[in-house]
Amino acid sequence: MKDKPVFAPELAIPNGITDISFYIDAFGAEELRRFSNDDGTVHVSELAINGAVFHLHEETPHTGLRSPQRNGPSVIIGLFVADVHAVFEQAVAAGAKITSPVQDYDYGYRQGTIEDTFGHRWQIQCAI
């Protein structure tokens, strides 16, 4: 992994969060490590979905890192999976809101978009 770049997004979450189970329940993420504040809330959590690493980080306004709940989403995270419908339904069952239902597009992708419990948008997709 040293020799090639790896994309690892950092998603801002509101301060005071203790429960990040959405990512585990919705996508089967594994929490690799967590750095907690003195009160037990999440400062940073490192998670992976099938080896793809991403981070949750509490808001730090002095650096400009704010959760989508404060400013609205600025990116959509694309997650390629084998069974779009199954992962999409699992995410909805875990508390996600549907922003665009799963459908097949003429450019060769099956995609559906959800908003997670912290306001981040995820596009669940596969090539067809």
Instruction: List, for residues 97-109, the tens digit of each pLDDT value.
Output: 999 999 999 999 9
Rounded to whole angstroms, the Cα distance separating 41 from 104 reads: 40
SS3 25: helix
Domain ranges of the chain: 10-61+73-127
Average model confidence (pLDDT) for the chain? 92
**Tens-place pLDDT, residues 29-68:** 999 999 999 999 999 999 999 999 999 999 987 777 888 8
| CA dihedral sign of residues 6, 10, 11, 16 | positive
CATH of domain 10-61+73-127: 3.10.180.10
